Structures are given as C-alpha cells and as structure tokens.
Amino acid sequence: AERTSELEVEKNKVEDLVCRMLPKAIVEDLKAGKDVRAETFENVTIFFSDIVGFTSICSRSTPMQVVALLNALYTTFDNIIDEYDVYKVETIGDAYMVVSGLPNRNGERHAGEIASMSLHLLSAMIDFRIPHLPEERLQL
C-alpha cells in the first residue's frame, strides 16, 4: 500500500511537470494514447518581454536574490495572464513568452488579448518592487 501511494505521488509530480511544458489538451491526448499531430494556426499573436537592465541588476545581486526576484515577478505575471485568453509558452531567465490564438483558437481576438494583457503587465510594474532593491523600479 505504501509503495502504491509513493508511486501515485511520483506519477502526480510527473504529470504536473508535463502540464507545465505542454498545453493541457495535448497532455490529455497523450495520456489517452491518442496520436498528437502538428497543427497550423492561422491567427496568433506572440508576446515577448524581458527586464531592462537585467544584467546590471544581476551584477548587484546574489544568485538567490535573482531567483527571488524572478519568482516574485513571474508569480505576478502568471496571476495576471490567468485573466486573458493566452497561453504561457516559456520563461527563460528574464524572458517571458506568451501567445494567444493557440492552443485554443480564438478567431480575431488574439491581438486584443495580448495587447490588453501587455498593458496590464506594464501597469503592474508601477507597484512591483525588487525584493532586495526596493528603491529601484523594474522596467519591461
């Protein structure tokens, strides 16, 4: 019984990790044993952001302070993007990539979703503080 419980915990960890890397619909198809084929999406808008002066901030920070900064920033971003018809594709370092129009097609709304989300992210920077450099403003 204990081994079964441990296996279930590990299975849930793997599923959570896969769901962070792939859209939920694709994960569900893979779990069901279905073939997943490449698709073409005609109407999409992609958003990229990075932090202005990130290299300079890093040079004045410990590695853990950089991790804390990115965690706080991306937690803020993740909470905001939940309000829009968008999908977070990737975060690498200070780069944040979001798309609208895939994996869920949304007709002609993709550009408006990204534009509104972008303005929301920018407005969040007004109150956002770098945890270890609270006197500095973060710019995207």
| pLDDT of residue 52 exceeding 90 | yes
Are the beta carbons of 19 and 27 closer than 8 angstroms? yes
Please give the biggest Cα pair distance in the chain. Answer: 54
Query: pTM of this prediction?
Result: 0.78
What does the pLDDT look like over 128-138, one tens digit per residue? 999 999 999 99
- Nearest CA to 73 out of 12, 19, 139 is that of 139
